[in-house]
Chains A and B, each alone.
Chain A
Amino acid sequence: MAVNTDVADVVVRPATGLSNRNLWFALGLLLAVAAPFQFYPVFLMKVLCFALFACAFNLLIGFAGLLSFGHAAFFGGSAYVTAHAAKVWGLTPELAILAGMLFAAVLGLLFGAIAIRRQGIYFAMITLALSQMVFFMALQMKFTGGEDGIQAVPRGHLFGLIDLADPLAMYYTVLAIFVGGFALIWRTVHSPFGQVLKAIRENEPRAVSLGYRTERYKLLAFVLSATLAGLAGSTKALVFQLASLTDVTWQMSGEVVLMTLLGGMGTLLGPVVGAALVVTLQNYLAATNLPVTVVIGAIFVVCVLLFRRGIVGEAQRVLGKAAR
């Protein structure tokens, strides 16, 4: 999917070398560390989980140009696996999360192998239908609990030491996971691998002619994206102590597309901003009588028609112009 190429697709290019960027990063981290004392921690953790989910999704669409409409399968599927691992097998949280990520990686490999053969709309349709398969399996299989979901998932003790039932401990763990995932994505994008991905996105035949095995790169990106989406889902299962069908529906896949589109596809901060906005909006609207889906749909329509760069994308464009 051709994304705006006149926009710098990294974090705001610092005017004065690296120090500016590091300063912003430190400030952001400080805010994040102080946040649970001001805001409801569970809400913040929800934002972080969805932000990671959106970032993982953005890796695929923004940097590899592949629109996957089935990412909920990784998100929700790993939530189920983690919930089961923590509740039934009694694994400690970090092992349970790893189990979920492993599941997401394997599923990503399977889906990727089937879907990568096609491009564009076909790719999207295939991922959508494959994730529906996962949905129906989740509906049928005994261990997922069907409509009930897996409830009362114990948060456990991180590394056997830190009790995650304490909201602050859980929050900082989630924050650490998010920062780790984000750092991984940042590193991937700014690596030779990331450069090749961008090349494939811009002009795949050219990349092929240069000798790159584009199928392999795309598959690797897909698996990476799936694994990180799985990480987000696993963490969410522990935060809410529940894994349910909502997480594997195609509506959830659509939500992450919206978050990324609204925030800015192809930017690194975009998905974070988009996720924060959408989660806050949903929270706020739930208290009122306004229909949430209609508002979300309207934002989608407006974004697609008028606002394709997304918030961060537009901001970069404006700042880029100002710098000249």
Chain B
Amino acid sequence: MFELLGVAPQVLFGQLLLGLINGSFYALLSLGLAVIFGMLNVINFAHGAQYMLGAFAAWMLMQWAGVNYWLALFLAPTVVGLVGVVLEKTLLSRLYKLDHLYGLLLTFGLALMLEGGFRHQFGVSGMPYPIPDALKGGQNLGFMFMPNYRGWVVVASLTVCLGTWYAIERTQLGAYLRAATENPVLVQAFGINVPIMITATYGFGVALAGLAGVLAAPIYQVNPLMGSNLIIIVFAVVVIGGMGSILGAIVTGLGLGLLEGLTKVFYPEASNIVIFVVMAIVLLIKPAGLFGRER
């Protein structure tokens, strides 16, 4: 077989595929963040913790209620979304009149509380969550052995991402949402209940994080710190993609996952920082992000 720049193709394609899998997580998570920021102008620092909540919800459902993975895929995000709705109604909404940075600080404090609480209760080792039977095993693709479950993750993430993009950009409800962020007073004058929309949007964004958590549970082990490791990377993705842009979040998430995979092949030491280097470059050239609009 040929060698590309001294690297065997198995390694290259294998890492690219792994990069794609990571990228779908980035896309799904940054989608939730972008939705929340686009609509509410709030940086949801608690997004990582809510992702962790989704994984724990799935685990708890399995441990205490015998709920299987497929049901958990719907139940866990709903539960986490409801938690988000409660948070928004009781805490976040008080801060909308103030500087947006207070929203950031509030969600930061919430993230600390959630992660600290779960860490205190469950330790850091991680609870095992089994891969559902239907997705066990893998396909030998020649250049690597791909576990079925990881393939499912890519499919599920892309479906949800594209579905959300379509809902927001192409449907009437989405149009109302986008209008509400541009000019809430006017939209409210048209008779649309803007506060409920905002609450529902936050809940939806959080539910997306929870869904990512359920998807992650069988591969990354359910542990309280799983969110804090991921959240900063997702922030960088959102900044690069353009902070309010849905499409930007999806495309950038996938793209950066692939870039990370490539870096792991040729220059593994830099694989952690390549995303931030890209961000610095993008910000120097196009401060609003690749797909963003100036606010």
Binding site for B on A (CB under 8 A): 1-2, 67, 69, 114, 117-118, 120-122, 124-126, 128-130, 132-133, 136-137, 139-140, 250-251, 254, 257, 261, 291-301, 303-305, 308
Interchain residue pairs A-B with the least CB separation, the first 9: A300-B109, A293-B116, A297-B112, A297-B113, A133-B276, A291-B120, A294-B116, A136-B272, A301-B109
Smallest CB–CB gap between A193 and chain B, Å? 24
* Interfacial chain A residues near B277, Cβ < 8 Å: 133
A126–B276 Cα gap in the complex (Å)? Answer: 9
B236 contacts the other chain (Cβ, under 8 Å)?
yes
* Interfacial chain B residues near A136, Cβ < 8 Å: 272-273, 276
Q: Is the interface of B mostly helix, strand, loop or mixed?
A: helix
B105 touches A304 (CB 8 A): yes
* Interfacial chain A residues near B270, Cβ < 8 Å: 140
B280 touches A298 (CB 8 A): no
Question: A1, A117, A133, A140: which contacts B99 (Cβ < 8 A)?
Answer: A1
B94 contacts the other chain (Cβ, under 8 Å)?
yes
> Would you list which residues of chain B between 95 and 130 have a CB under 8 Å from chain A?
95, 98-102, 104-106, 108-117, 119-120
B232 touches A257 (CB 8 A): no
Q: Is the interface of A mostly helix, strand, loop or mixed?
A: helix
* Interfacial chain B residues near A140, Cβ < 8 Å: 269-270, 272-273
A251–B104 Cα gap in the complex (Å)? Answer: 14
Contact-residue bracket for chain B: 35 or more
* Interfacial chain B residues near A129, Cβ < 8 Å: 232, 235-236, 239, 276, 279
* Interfacial chain B residues near A132, Cβ < 8 Å: 232-233, 236, 276
A118–B292 Cα gap in the complex (Å)? Answer: 13
Q: A308 — nearest CB in chain B belongs to which residue? A: B102
Binding site for A on B (CB under 8 A): 41, 43, 91, 94-95, 98-102, 104-106, 108-117, 119-120, 228, 232-233, 235-236, 238-239, 243, 269-270, 272-273, 276-277, 279-280, 283-284, 287
A137–B114 Cα gap in the complex (Å)? Answer: 28
Apart from A120-B100, A301-B110, A303-B109, what 17 extra A-B contacts exist at CB < 8 Å?
Answer: A67-B101, A114-B280, A122-B287, A124-B104, A125-B235, A126-B239, A129-B276, A130-B280, A133-B277, A291-B117, A297-B109, A297-B114, A297-B116, A298-B113, A301-B91, A301-B106, A305-B91
A291 with B116, Cβ < 8 A, contacts A300-B108, A304-B109 known: yes
A114 with B283, Cβ < 8 A, contacts A121-B101, A129-B239, A300-B108 known: yes
B105 touches A137 (CB 8 A): no
* Interfacial chain A residues near B111, Cβ < 8 Å: 297
B239 touches A122 (CB 8 A): yes
A185–B73 Cα gap in the complex (Å)? Answer: 53
Q: B237 — nearest CB in chain A belongs to which residue? A: A129
* Interfacial chain A residues near B115, Cβ < 8 Å: 293
Residue of A2, A137, A301 with most partner-chain B CB within 10 A: A301
A117 touches B287 (CB 8 A): yes
Q: B42 — nearest CB in chain A belongs to which residue? A: A121
A128–B113 Cα gap in the complex (Å)? Answer: 20
Residue of A130, A300, A303 with most partner-chain B CB within 10 A: A300
A94–B100 Cα gap in the complex (Å)? Answer: 41
Question: A120, A139, A261: which contacts B272 (Cβ < 8 A)?
Answer: A139
A136–B275 Cα gap in the complex (Å)? Answer: 11
Question: B113, B273, B279: which contacts A301 (Cβ < 8 A)?
Answer: B113
A297–B112 Cα gap in the complex (Å)? Answer: 5
A120–B114 Cα gap in the complex (Å)? Answer: 26
Q: A291 — nearest CB in chain B belongs to which residue? A: B120
A304–B98 Cα gap in the complex (Å)? Answer: 11
10 A-B pairs with CB atoms under 8 Å apart are: A2-B99, A67-B101, A69-B104, A114-B283, A128-B235, A129-B279, A250-B232, A291-B117, A293-B116, A304-B102
A296–B235 Cα gap in the complex (Å)? Answer: 23
